[in-house]
């Protein structure tokens, strides 16, 4: 286990270095004039030069690159061009919102997707199987923003017209301030992100379960008189979860970097909103910080997925 963690951590560091280098090249070597953008079109050449010197953009590229990597290695992502605040502070303010959205939505889509997929796989070609497959295809084909707008119209706008204010339309309340209001403001975003994502897990679980349930060891377990429930959930589902775990790690790692569409639809002040504002203002340090954060989440999620593999499948050994 220790050798595995050391090897995968080293590989993750290399990946992060490559991502950081590519992002640096894209935003600092590509032709553009950050100082002119910040100073405005009417600013004098002296003002532009002063901004370049303050930001260190007048130094050689290799010096800027080395300084950038050294600061990033020590957790310093620089200061935002837009408001002069540390990038880590901006990310720290918005990360709890995105994490709340992703964690709650992930629990819903995992339970819903896996349970529905097992139900469909254990009743192949039945009405239940066809209905769940059809619903999965419907939500899989539906854009996130469209489902969010539908939920807002039905569960917020229409209910509000008759005096029922169960579901807020936008906003966020921190968990530490009021846990009940925190969940109340997030229930519609949770449903939006969960219903769209659960469709993938229904299809993955169903397909994997159908493959596993035809294996010899499943037939052997049934011939020994083991109960059907134990055969399905202890022997079948455990082996069938491998592709589900892979997809789950990718989805959670990616969404933690910013669920841009869902946050925008429901007005959540998370990393997605920060990313849009940073792109609009060409706030390069913040953009780079968000890219590195998203990459770190994906790397960590993949390490966790490999560890879970060894717990689900006895044939997998971490070495």
Query: In this model, does residue 41 exceed pLDDT 70?
Result: no
When pLDDT is averaged across residues 53-80 and rounded to a whole number, the result is 81
For helices 242-256 and 87-121, angle between their N-to-C axes, nearest 10 degrees: 150
- pLDDT tens for residues 258-279? 688 888 888 888 888 888 888 8
Q: Mean pLDDT lowest for which of 53-57, 67-71, 97-101, 302-306?
A: 53-57
Per-residue pLDDT tens over the stretch 200-241: 899 888 888 888 887 777 778 778 777 777 888 777 887 788
Of 1.10.3720.10, 3.10.105.10, 3.40.1190.20, 3.40.50.10540, the CATH number of 90-312 is 1.10.3720.10
pLDDT band for position 314 (50/70/90)?
low
Burial 15-24 (b: 16+ CB within 10 A, else e): ebeebbeebb
Most confident of the ranges 41-50, 57-66, 292-301:
292-301
Output the pLDDT for position 35. 67
* 21 pLDDT above the threshold of 60: yes
For the entire predicted model, the pTM comes to 0.82
The pLDDT of residue 109 is 92
What pLDDT, on a 0 to 100 scale, did the predictor assign at position 191? Answer: 92
Cβ-count burial 26-61 (b if 16+ within 10 Å, e if not): ebbeeeeebbebbbeeeeeeeebeebbeebeeeeee
Res. 100: pLDDT tops 90 = yes
Cα 220 from Cα 231, distance rounded (Å)? 10
Q: Is the pLDDT of residue 69 over 60?
A: yes
State residue 66's pLDDT score: 86
Instruction: Tell me: pLDDT of 31 over 70.
Output: no
Domain residue spans in the chain?
2-73, 90-312
């Amino acid at each position: 286990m220790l050798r595995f963690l050391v090897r995968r951590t080293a590989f993750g560091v290399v990946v992060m270095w490559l991502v950081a280098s590519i992002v640096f090249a894209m935003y600092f070597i590509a032709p553009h004039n950050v100082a002119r953008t910040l100073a405005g079109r009417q600013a004098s050449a002296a003002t532009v030069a002063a901004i370049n010197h303050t930001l260190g953009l007048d130094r050689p590229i290799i010096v800027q690159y080395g300084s950038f990597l050294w600061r990033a290695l020590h957790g310093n992502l620089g200061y935002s061009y837009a408001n002069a605040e540390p990038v880590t502070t901006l990310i720290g303010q918005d990360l709890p919102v995105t994490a709340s959205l992703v964690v709650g939505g992930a629990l819903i889509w995992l339970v819903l997707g896996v349970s529905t997929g097992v139900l469909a796989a254990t009743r192949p070609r039945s009405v239940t199987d066809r209905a769940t497959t059809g619903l999965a295809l419907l939500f899989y084909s539906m854009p996130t923003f469209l489902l969010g707008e539908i939920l807002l119209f039905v569960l917020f706008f229409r209910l509000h017209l008759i005096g029922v204010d169960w579901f807020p339309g936008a906003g966020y309340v921190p968990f530490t301030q009021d846990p009940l209001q925190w969940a109340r403001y997030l229930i519609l975003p949770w449903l939006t992100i969960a219903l769209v994502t659960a469709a993938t897990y229904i299809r993955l679980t169903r397909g994997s379960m159908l493959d596993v349930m035809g294996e010899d060891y499943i037939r052997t377990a049934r011939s020994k008189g083991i109960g059907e429930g134990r055969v399905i959930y202890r022997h079948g589902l455990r082996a069938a979860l491998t592709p589900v775990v892979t997809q789950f790690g990718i989805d959670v790692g990616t969404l933690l970097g910013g669920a841009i569409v869902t946050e925008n639809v429901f007005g959540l002040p998370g990393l997605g909103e920060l990313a849009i504002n940073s792109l609009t203002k060409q706030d390069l340090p913040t953009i780079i910080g968000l890219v590195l954060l998203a990459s770190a989440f994906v790397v960590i999620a993949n390490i966790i997925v490999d560890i879970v593999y060894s717990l689900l499948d006895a044939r997998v050994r971490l070495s």
